[in-house]
Amino acid sequence: MTVTDELPAKIQALPDSGFGLAGSSAAAASPEELLAALRELEPQVKSRKPKPIKAAMEQVDALAVPDRFAAEMVDLGKLIGRYKFGEALVVLGALMDRLE
């Protein structure tokens, strides 16, 4: 058995990323639902206050993200997790533009 043969099983065993990306059996959120959640997140990110951002991000995390937005959502989560709110605003704005 090669590494590539084992890869699908290992991917399935990974824990959920928190962005509705891995192992989600729920249907993907509609672009309108995702846009509404991101609009609620935006003022929190602009405030640069970690606790309100975390609360708003939890609502976004609860959504099953459509595959075509998954990479941006991962980037957004990483930037927010690293307190890089200025960069997160850029990604958030681009993502919201794509959803509109």
For residues 53 and 45, what is the distance between their CA atoms, to the nearest angstrom?
A: 6
Residues in CB range of 97: below 8 A, 6 or more apart: none
Domain range annotation of the chain: 29-99
Q: What is the mean pLDDT of the chain?
A: 81
Question: What is the structure's pLDDT at 1?
Answer: 56
Per-residue model confidence as pLDDT tens digits over 28-49: 788 899 999 999 999 999 999 9
Which residues, other chains included, contact 38 with Cβ-Cβ below 8 Å and sequence gap of 6+?
60, 92, 95, 96, 99
| pTM tops 0.75, yes or no | no
Task: Specify the 3-state DSSP secondary structure of 76.
Answer: helix
At 100, the pLDDT band (50, 70, 90 cuts) reads confident
What is the C-alpha R_g of the chain? 15
Q: What is the pLDDT of residues 75-97, one digit of tens each?
A: 999 999 999 999 999 999 999 99
